[in-house]
Amino acid sequence: MFNRFPKRGKQKKKTIMKKNANEIFMLQYRIKRYQAMGNGTMCQTLNGKLQKLLAKQAAMTM
């Protein structure tokens, strides 16, 4: 069988990547805000989430 919608997979991947990029941007913003307030614990938590998301996005591009 052949794929009737060959671009659908690419389109879905693109929307997921865009969603991840927005989430990465928001996490970076929140990290900067918590750093400015001096809340190191929350910074570390958000940095962990950010690293996981960056690793996930890097795996998707390959």
Residue 45 covered by a domain: yes
Asked if 34 and 42 count as a contact pair (C-beta separation under 8 A), the reply is: yes
> Quick one: pLDDT at residue 59?
85
pLDDT given at position 54: 93
Does 3 map to a domain? no
Q: Report the half-sphere exposure of 37 (CA within 13 A, side-chain side).
A: 11
Q: What is the pLDDT of residue 4?
A: 59
Instruction: Classify residue 24: in a domain, yes or no.
Output: no
Residue 36 lies in a domain: yes
The range of the structural domain enclosing residue 42 comes to 29-61
Query: Based on the structure, what is the number of domains in the chain?
Result: 1
Q: Would 15 be classed as within a structural domain? A: no
Q: Is 13 a domain residue?
A: no
Q: Per-residue confidence at 40, pLDDT binned at 50, 70, 90? A: very high
- Which of 6-10, 18-22, 39-43 is the least confident region? 6-10
